Structures are given as structure tokens and as C-alpha cells.
Amino acid sequence: MAFSKEVKLTGDKHNYAISPAIKRYALTDVGFIVTKAGNFALERSLSGSSPYEKGYKLKVTVAKDFSGFKLAITTANGLQSVNIFNDPSKSDNVTQYNFIMDNLVSRDILVRDDQGK
């Protein structure tokens, strides 16, 4: 998957884009690590009960020059994309996803269109 300027996950009502005010230190403050290619990667569990439980993962990768990013929700092994928004039994996962995304927006890493609210 290539880096995009704007991403909307299947089932999510919001579009996300890189914030024009993004800073390298903000990425490391929230837990992004620098990959071998120089990009910034964040993986977080969407389990509501334990971050160590095998469940769905949120993966965010920001290009090293901040020109774009990738956003995906995957299975625990990271190989298959999942839509957590269409199943009411996954409401804890959606809550955790929204919490993480709110944090990234508040730290000026991503911006969200608020048309979905």
C-alpha cells in the first residue's frame, strides 16, 4: 500500500490527513518508532481489556518526509485488513480506535474532517 495524503477506513465516518503542524518529536512522544527506511510506524492493540491480548491492531505509518501516511486495522498477525465498524460486538475495539485517533489529532499528527459527527 502506498502512502496517501488522506485516508478513510472502510466503515469509519471520518477522513484523516497529515497535520500541517506535524513535528518529529510529537511522533516519538506518542510511541512511533523509526523504521529501517526512515518512516515512522505505530502499532497499537485495539483490545479494550488488555493491550497484550491478541486482537485487532491499529497500524499507522507516516512517511519520513511527512508527505503521506498509511492507516489500517488488521488481525493480530497483521496480515489481513478488518472492518471493525460493521459489527456491534466490536464496540470496545471502536472505542479504543477512537481514543487513539483522538490522541493523534490532539497532538497535531493527524487532522480529521468532522463531517461525520
- Is the predicted pLDDT of residue 21 greater than 70, yes or no? yes
Q: In the prediction, which pLDDT does 78 show?
A: 84
DSSP letter (8 states) at residue 4: B
Q: In the prediction, which pLDDT does 87 show?
A: 84
47's CB contacts (< 8 A; 6+ apart) are: 53, 54, 55, 56, 92, 93, 96
Q: Taken in order 27, 42, 50, 103, is the CA torsion positive or negative? A: positive
CATH number of 6-109: 3.30.1820.10
- Is the predicted pLDDT of residue 25 greater than 80, yes or no? yes
Residue owning grid cell 485487532 = 56
- Is the predicted pLDDT of residue 1 greater than 70, yes or no? no
% of the chain surpassing 90 pLDDT: 75
Give residue-wise pLDDT tens across range 52-77.
677 899 999 999 999 999 999 999 88
